[in-house]
């Protein structure tokens, strides 16, 4: 199968113009451009996410090789207690309790 030549492209463009109309073609092209831009940004985001995941895994692997005596002090500190409410919630006195 061969690629369309000059006159064949002209016929294809005229058919598309007749099928969709002159008003809808710019809107369709704009929508297609937006879709391609979104697709491109999402795939770039996935590639960046994969790269950052590889960097984090590589960093974690290098930290596993450290001797146990060199652990940071922040990891050895006990967890802070959760904050206690300062004021108790009073039940609504206007409603009868059941």
What H or E segment, with its residue span, contains residue 31?
A: helix 24-64
pLDDT of the residue at 96: 62
Q: How far apart are CA 28 and CA 98, in angstroms?
A: 63
Q: Where are the domains of the chain?
A: 24-63
Q: How far apart are CA 37 and CA 44, in angstroms?
A: 11
Q: Which residues of the chain have pLDDT under 70?
A: 57-98
Contacts of 97 (CB under 8 A, 6+ apart): 91
CB atoms within 10 A of CB 14: 10
pLDDT of the residue at 82: 57
Under DSSP, the state recorded for 11 is H
């Amino acid at each position: 199968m061969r690629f369309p030549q000059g006159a064949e492209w002209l016929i294809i463009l005229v058919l598309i113009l007749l099928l969709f109309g002159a008003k809808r073609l710019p809107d369709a092209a704009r929508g297609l451009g937006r879709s391609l831009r979104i697709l491109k940004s999402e795939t770039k985001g996935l590639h960046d996410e994969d790269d950052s995941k590889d960097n984090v895994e590589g960093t974690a692997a290098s930290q596993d090789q450290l001797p146990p005596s060199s652990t940071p002090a922040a990891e050895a500190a006990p967890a802070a207690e959760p904050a206690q409410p300062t004021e108790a919630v009073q039940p609504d006195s206007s409603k009868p309790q059941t």
